[in-house]
Amino acid sequence: MKVTLKVNGRVCSADVEPRKTLLDAIREDLALVGSHAGCEHGVCGACTVLLEGEPVRSCLMFAVQADGYEITTIEGLAPAPGELSVVQDAFCETHGLQCGYCTSGMILTGHALLQRTPEPTREEIVEAISGNICRCTGYGQIVEAIEFAGERLRKANAPRGSKGVDANQPHVDLSAETDAPQEGVLKAAQADTPHGGRP
Amino acid sequence: MKPAPFEYVRPDSVAQACEMLAADEDARIIAGGQTLVPMLAMRLARAAKLIDIYRLPELNGIRVESDVLVIGATTRQVQVERSALAAQSTPLLAKALPWVGHPPTRNRGTVGGSVANADPSAEIPLVAVTLGAEIEITNPDGVTSMPADDFFIGPMLTSVMPGDCVTAVRFPIWRHARVGTAFHEVSARKSDFAFVAAAAQVALDDDGKCIAAALGIGGVGDRAVRLDLAKLLGETAGTAKLKDVVAEAATVLEPSSDLHVSATYRTRVAVTLGVRALEDAMTDARSSATQSNRGITQ
């Protein structure tokens, strides 16, 4: 059966059997193997992808059901080849992964949460990732990674400087040097220290 | 690929879906597929043909028709969870929804699917039984509806006949001035199958006396059960009275033992959670009254 899958902004056609899950189609037909096959019956969350921006389990959908929907996989988050998205980077900084098997699902789930809820509470993060199972690192650093990513995204989106934005002035705010919130913004040397050098 | 081969069709209308369903006894409806797909993957279920109704626009939506909240069968659980209309008109359903599966399964899973699946520990069927919802069924002969109490027969077993398709669930709205609700559940992990779940909704009059009360218990037997609370009506029931009434009403439960917990445990937890849910619902009803009073004075 012919399907059109819109994955990470690319439109791909594939000829699949109806019983082929979206996960298998993504991995085998589109060769995007960042979505992991864990339990393959909807328990572990390793296969999580974003369907129209919302996390869903790609093993609980047949590829034919996904025909025409916008799908984002872990490969679609980074802004450019060789770079990491803010959430991916936060997982590295806080040691939010060990073996990495659950990580793509965790990152996509965290990413979707932060899109809807820019400042989630710890409980909201725990609830959001409750359907994703991690068997090695433990959840502490994963929750911390999502908190940290949220913090960075908020700061990146906040106007720098206390004087607000003047549309008639050049787009450089000199006061940002002194009064921009510095915490959470990593210096290169801090990247190697635990928790990015944060207490 | 884990499931056995099947044919996949996407009908253009409910009528067409019902025709397809009636024409082939090995055909099954698929919507969100959050239970059916793993069942197919583990080969606990088999279908020659899957009829996908998920995209039929006529089946998706939440609306109020006089004193009923009508939820189309393929309305996703997350839509109800985020719906201000649902939270306002059937707060009990809104309180139960965060307990349904996990966020990613609620993004795909549908209200009608949960009802048609009839898992004894499922939250949406429990709320449907507690509130006395009507299940709307469409078949080639037309549209009928039946009370949730008649619809659910046993574990994964409902009154739907071959050719029947659940097309909506109709939850009654309580229009009393002071309505309170509460939902409690015990499971091994958050969002896992409930060992016991209790859903309560009460309405109080100006003196705090109970004028309507509903308590449903799920996860305990073959299906969700609504307990008889006639003895609470007209009472300003305290904890002791609630315990007596719930313990007596709970004798109708037919608890089962399994790998996780014993039947005795289920009965004890059912009574404890039932009392707790009623107490919380009454507190909620009293505070909803103060809120509306505040609204009037302002």
Q: Report which residue type is found at A134.
A: C
Contact check, Cβ <8 Å, A42/B105? yes
Of the candidates A17, A57, A61, the beta carbon closest to that of B5 is on A17
Distance of CA B266 to the CA centre of its chain: 20
Choosing among A2, A17, A21, A62, which should be mutated to test the B contact, i.e. which has the most B CBs within 10 A?
Answer: A62
Confidence of residue B64 (pLDDT cuts 50, 70, 90): very high
Average pLDDT over residues A164-186: 57
| Residue B163 shares a structural domain with residue B206 | no
Of the candidates A19, A48, A128, the beta carbon closest to that of B1 is on A19
Query: pLDDT value at position B189?
Result: 82
Average pLDDT over residues B48-53: 97
B155 touches chain A (CB under 8 A): no
Question: B82 lies in a domain?
Answer: yes
Q: Report d(CA B201, CA B281) in Å as an integer.
A: 6
Contact check, Cβ <8 Å, B102/A56? no
Contacts of B104 in chain A (CB under 8 A): 45, 48, 54-57, 109, 131
SS3 (DSSP) at A94: coil
**Surface-to-core class of residue A13, CB atoms within 10 Å of its CB (0-12 exposed, 13-18 middle, 19+ buried):** exposed
* pLDDT for A168 beyond 70: no
Query: pLDDT value at position A171?
Result: 53
Q: Which residue has the higher pLDDT, A100 or A173?
A: A100
In this predicted model, what pLDDT tens digit does every residue of B14-40 receive, in sequence order? 999 999 999 999 999 999 999 999 999
| Residue B78 shares a structural domain with residue B164 | yes
Query: pLDDT value at position B295?
Result: 39
In this predicted model, what pLDDT tens digit does every residue of B147-206 receive, in sequence order? 999 999 999 999 999 899 999 999 999 999 999 999 999 998 877 899 999 999 999 999
| Residue B246 shares a structural domain with residue B192 | yes
| Residue B62 shares a structural domain with residue B91 | yes
Choosing among A2, A29, A65, which should be mutated to test the B contact, i.e. which has the most B CBs within 10 A?
Answer: A65
B8 touches chain A (CB under 8 A): yes
Contact check, Cβ <8 Å, A55/B7? no
Q: Which CB contacts under 8 angstroms, 24+ apart, belong to B289-298?
A: B289/B177, B289/B178, B289/B204, B289/B206, B292/B177, B292/B178
In this predicted model, what pLDDT tens digit does every residue of A50-107 receive, in sequence order? 999 999 999 999 999 999 999 999 999 999 889 999 999 999 999 999 999 999 999 9
| Residue B19 shares a structural domain with residue B109 | no
Query: pLDDT value at position A172?
Result: 54
Question: B1 lies in a domain?
Answer: no
Question: B2 lies in a domain?
Answer: no
Domains in chain A: ranges and CATH: 2-76 (3.10.20.30), 86-166+173-192 (1.10.150.120)
Distance of CA B191 to the CA centre of its chain: 15
Confidence of residue B2 (pLDDT cuts 50, 70, 90): confident
Buried/exposed B112-145: b ≥16 CB within 10 Å, e otherwise: bbbbbbbbbbbbbbbbbbbbebbbbbbbeeeeeb
Query: pLDDT value at position B294?
Result: 41
Residue among B15, B9, B58 nearest B29 (CA): B9
φ, ψ of residue A100 in degrees (nearest 5): 90, 0
CATH of the domain at B142: 3.30.465.10
Question: B298 lies in a domain?
Answer: no
A103 touches chain B (CB under 8 A): no
Which ranges in A52-170 belong to alpha helices (H)? 86-93, 103-116, 122-128, 140-157
Residue among B191, B240, B181 nearest B215 (CA): B181
Q: Which residue has the higher pLDDT, A174 or B140?
A: B140
C-alpha atoms less than 13 angstroms from C-alpha of B154 in its C-beta half-sphere: 2
| Residue B184 shares a structural domain with residue B284 | yes
| Residue B79 shares a structural domain with residue B130 | yes
Final residue of a structural domain among B145, B172, B199: B172
In this predicted model, what pLDDT tens digit does every residue of B74-118 receive, in sequence order? 999 999 999 999 999 999 999 999 999 999 999 999 999 999 999
Query: pLDDT value at position B179?
Result: 96
- The total number of structural domains in chain B stands at 3
| Residue B107 shares a structural domain with residue B148 | yes
Domain hosting residue B229, numbered range: 178-292
